[in-house]
């Protein structure tokens, strides 16, 4: 199985496991999130140890083995992106949909690049991989159907101070949404036009979404327009822009005027 197919299979299977845990464990809230994180992480690590035993792994839920820094291939995974959303219910009492599973592969080739990625949206039964297959405009993540105005999706808990300025610059509106993967895939799906973030993230939050978004032709960078760099000693990668390419210059003109977060600003 090639790397892209494996990433998609692992993200999908971990998502199915998480749905089963949510439906049958009897747990809710933080306890559900913790159980989902643990079991999804165990599953992903076990499969990678079997299917790619020579590769290193960087996971949000595991101790960081610095041996990855000299490995030519590193899987970067987030077993549950949006743990809080995974453990929560919406206004109708149903489990929230805006959480994800991330599986990405970084290679040292060419100075370091993402060579495979998959983002599963288990509650929607969809997994996106880093191929060039067009994605038909689809809704289902945002609470309100979109209108004609461009949409900028941001964190509901840590929206950037420049969110409204970005929306104003492109004549759009701000929409809050859960996990990084859900927001990034909202842009991939055509449910939104841009995703901006400056409230603090780590490599596992953005690696898989960026791999998928770039393959679909979207612009991905830090808020100052510089590249997103992975498999670093310090995994803090605090800010992100994913947008339609024609909006890049307008959005970066706004976001680049803001101070770029650093490790010291955590």
Are residues 117 and 12 part of one domain?
yes
- Assess if residue 125 is contained within a domain: yes
Are residues 192 and 91 part of one domain?
no
Are residues 124 and 8 part of one domain?
yes
- Assess if residue 243 is contained within a domain: yes
Residue-level pLDDT at 27:
94
pLDDT by residue (tens digit) across 214-255? Answer: 999 999 999 999 999 999 999 999 999 999 999 999 999 999
Are residues 68 and 13 part of one domain?
yes
On the 0-12 / 13-18 / 19+ scale of CB atoms within 10 A, 227 is exposed
Asked whether the beta carbons of 149 and 42 are under 8 A apart, the reply is no
Query: pTM here?
Result: 0.93
Are residues 21 and 113 part of one domain?
yes
Q: Tokens 């990084």 label which residue?
A: 180
Asked whether the beta carbons of 207 and 119 are under 8 A apart, the reply is no
What is the rounded CA–CA span in Å between residue 149 and residue 263?
35
Query: Per the structure, how many domains does the chain have?
Result: 2
CATH label of the domain that carries residue 9? 3.30.540.10
Q: Which segments in the chain show pLDDT lower than 50?
A: 266
CATH label of the domain that carries residue 184? 3.40.190.80
Which of 105, 146, 141 shows the shortest CA–CA distance to 124? 141
Residue-level pLDDT at 141:
63
Six-digit token pair at 201?
């993230």
- Assess if residue 70 is contained within a domain: yes
- Assess if residue 264 is contained within a domain: no
On the 0-12 / 13-18 / 19+ scale of CB atoms within 10 A, 169 is middle
Domain that holds residue 155: 151-256
Are residues 114 and 31 part of one domain?
yes
- Assess if residue 140 is contained within a domain: no
Residue-level pLDDT at 110:
86
Strand-by-strand arrangement of the 73-81 sheet: 56-59, 73-81, 100-107, 113-121, 126-129
Pairing assessment for the beta strands 151-155 and 194-197 based on DSSP bridges: parallel
């Amino acid at each position: 199985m090639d790397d892209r197919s494996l990433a998609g299979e692992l993200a999908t299977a971990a998502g199915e496991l998480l749905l089963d845990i949510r439906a049958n464990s009897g747990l809710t809230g933080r306890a559900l999130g913790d159980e989902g994180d643990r079991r999804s992480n165990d599953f992903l690590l076990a499969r990678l140890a079997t299917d790619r035993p020579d590769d290193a792994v960087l996971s949000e839920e595991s101790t960081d083995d610095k041996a990855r820094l000299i490995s030519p291939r590193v899987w970067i995974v987030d077993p549950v992106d949006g743990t809080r959303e995974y453990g929560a219910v919406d206004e109708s009492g149903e489990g929230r949909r805006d959480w994800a599973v991330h599986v990405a592969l970084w290679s040292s080739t060419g100075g370091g690049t993402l060579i495979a990625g998959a983002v599963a949206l288990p509650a929607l039964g969809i997994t996106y991989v880093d191929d060039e297959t067009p994605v038909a405009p689809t809704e289902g993540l945002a609470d309100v159907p979109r209108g004609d105005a461009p949409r900028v999706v941001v964190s509901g808990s840590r929206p950037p101070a420049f969110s409204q300025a970005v929306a104003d610059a492109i004549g759009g509106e701000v929409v809050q949404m859960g996990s990084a993967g859900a927001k990034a895939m909202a842009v991939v799906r055509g449910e939104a036009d841009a995703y901006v973030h400056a409230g603090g993230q780590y490599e596992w939050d953005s690696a898989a979404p960026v791999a998928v978004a770039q393959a679909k032709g979207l612009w991905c960078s830090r808020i100052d327009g510089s590249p997103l760099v992975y498999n670093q000693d310090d995994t803090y990668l605090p800010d992100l822009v994913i947008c339609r390419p024609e909006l890049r210059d307008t959005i970066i003109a706004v976001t680049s005027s803001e101070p770029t977060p650093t490790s010291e600003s955590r």
